[in-house]
Amino acid sequence: MKLEQLPMNQASRCGAQTRSGKKCQSPPVRGKRRCRMHGGAAGSGAPIGNTNALRHGHYTAEAIARRRQLSELIRTARTTLAQIEERR
């Protein structure tokens, strides 16, 4: 049995680069990807609604949702049109 296959070694790890140059082996904070020492701690990271890094907003959740809705509308319109064409 390979060591990587052991359940103990399959748990996700922080993976941040440590001062020794190796990957951090600490388990990530619940619901986050990094451990408590590498940005996973409560209160770390940008506050909700922060727009410091916003450039054009093309990839904001709202913009993505809008595009998805629009393509869904186009898709249903196309299928409806195809059905109307079939009936003729």
In the numeric block, which tokens belong to residue 27?
A: 């388990």
* Binding of Zn ion by 26 (CB under 5 A): yes
Told to check if 32 binds Zn ion by CB under 5 A, we report: no
Q: Is 14 in the site for Zn ion (CB under 5 A)?
A: yes
Which residue, 26 or 32, is less far from Zn ion as judged by CB? 26
Looking at 2, 30, 33, 35, which residue binds Zn ion (CB under 5 A)? 35
When the beta carbons of 44 and 76 are compared against Zn ion, the nearer one is 44
Shortest CA distance to 44 belongs to which of 59, 57, 55, 33? 33
27, 13 Cβ separation under 8 angstroms: yes
Residue 71, amino acid: S
Q: Which among 1-9, 11-19, 52-60, 79-87 is the span making contact with Zn ion, rule CB under 5 A?
A: 11-19
H-helix segments, the chain: 7-10, 61-87
Q: For binding to Zn ion (CB under 5 A), which residues are involved?
A: 14, 16, 24, 26, 35, 38
